[in-house]
Structure 1
């Protein structure tokens, strides 16, 4: 995704942020202030940790460091898979803190907001009710619903991208359409704008979604489309 953005969007990767399993952040690279579309790649060494209170603190450590080093005032995030819940937990825990840089745009790719197949969800088990609420709620989703009012109101533009293999599972192989689309009900009345895009076919598989140039273009248009026009 970063290579595509550099080639097609004239973006520039300026830093790699490596977050240790203890939440310590090290930055590698050089960020020249003249860069108009700077990219920071985030690498979590504890990328199997599913305690999102913990990983959201790690993300906060990075945001604080970027503010201290580079005086950032706002930022956008592109998240995939477990990164999505880290981001949502971050916003519910810290998003209203005006001392921190503010999130403006978030891209959620293959987000398991309400379950993962084989862990706490099954293909075609769940459904969205007429009001958009999922019929079945897992423990993470219940927690997020209880704290949804902490999400900054009318501030964040949200793009939710999810996959459908079109093999009858209505999923990307790991995350069902219902689980991914549960985000809209969660953030109802809070987001500034919200849009969903379904990617279909074999390249919509969970881990292939961030290697998919269709997705890359959609993300670029969302982040920088107005700047290109």
Structure 2
């Protein structure tokens, strides 16, 4: 009987200890779950705060921004800059405009009727087209397609390398056409306005004065000087970005700083504002400029920051 009582007490103690352990596990587990939930909620709150901050930081405009690559480029040339804008909360509406060799425009993707700060990545099938008048017409075709589908009134433009020269030709040819959307802001990256090294310019051969006037004007620069009149009174803001490798060539390796900076003389005092941004070192190389996070930030601030 005493043995049975001892066994009973042992069982009670065992059950008591097991119960205490189970309660402890439940309590500890509850604290762990609470902590995880709090961390998740905090992370979610931070994400929401960042999203709201980004939304408040940028303008809420329905004006689209067109990105155009340079000679032998593609939409991939614009990808980094566009993704930077998307990641920072500028927009979530991005489409591509493919231009065939015949100039036909096909839009890939779509944005909603109330899209904020939409972006259009232009890709030319014939990306080695050297006739600037043809390129200018293709830019017009993109704009009229967007105008027909989305009824756009204004647009921003970001160009790299020869894309800027093509756009300058567009403005010279169509910039005064009242039936077309109006240019709002323009970003030029490594513009080839007065030549390309080892094509029609030698290293350190041409210089520009304080007004951007080149010591020698290469075609089609003289012909483009009429765009000064076209920009006058249209309240256009211009950002001109160029790179200097700091290797003594005063260039980004392909385009001289004098060629890029000669845009200032082309436009004169006609833009509402004009600013130059110089980048230096290996990341300022011609093709690296459109992969440069500082350049992307400069563009984002200029185009969309309040």
TM-score, normalized by length of structure 1? 0.95
Equivalent in the alignment of 2:262? 182
Deviations 1:63-98 (A, max 9, x none): 011111000000001100111011111111111111
Q: State whether residues 238 and 274 of structure 2, in contact with CA within 8 Å, keep that contact through their aligned partners in structure 1.
A: yes
Q: State whether residues 2 and 13 of structure 1, in contact with CA within 8 Å, keep that contact through their aligned partners in structure 2.
A: no
How much does 1:150 deviate?
3.0
Structure 1 position 5 matched with structure 2 position 85: yes
Alignment of structure 1 residues 102-181 onto 2, 5 Å: 102-146=182-226, 148-181=228-261
Structure 1 position 95 matched with structure 2 position 150: no
Q: Helix, strand or coil for the counterpart of 1:89?
A: helix
Q: State whether residues 91 and 152 of structure 1, in contact with CA within 8 Å, keep that contact through their aligned partners in structure 2.
A: no
| Cα distance in 1, alignment partners of residues 243 and 101 from structure 2 | 30
How much does 1:123 deviate?
1.4
Alignment of structure 1 residues 59-78 onto 2, 5 Å: 59-78=139-158
Structure 1 residues 147 and 73, CA gap change in structure 2 (3 angstroms): closer
Equivalent in the alignment of 2:15? none
Q: Between Structure 1 and Structure 2, whose CA radius of gyration is higher?
A: 2
2:281 to 201, 210, 214: 201
TM-score, normalized by length of structure 2? 0.71
Q: Which runs of 5+ in 1 are unaligned?
A: none
| Cα distance in 1, alignment partners of residues 169 and 242 from structure 2 | 19
Q: Helix, strand or coil for the counterpart of 1:215?
A: helix
My pick for the range that moved more, 172-181 or 139-148, is 139-148
Structure 1 position 79 matched with structure 2 position 159: yes
| Cα distance in 1, alignment partners of residues 170 and 196 from structure 2 | 20
| Cα distance in 2, alignment partners of residues 152 and 98 from structure 1 | 15
Q: State whether residues 207 and 258 of structure 2, in contact with CA within 8 Å, keep that contact through their aligned partners in structure 1.
A: yes
CA RMSD after TM alignment: 1.3
Structure 1 position 28 matched with structure 2 position 108: yes
**Structure (1/2) with the larger strand percentage:** 1
Q: State whether residues 168 and 227 of structure 2, in contact with CA within 8 Å, keep that contact through their aligned partners in structure 1.
A: no
**Structure (1/2) with the larger helix percentage:** 2
| Cα distance in 2, alignment partners of residues 141 and 30 from structure 1 | 37
Q: Which runs of 5+ in 2 are unaligned?
A: 1-80
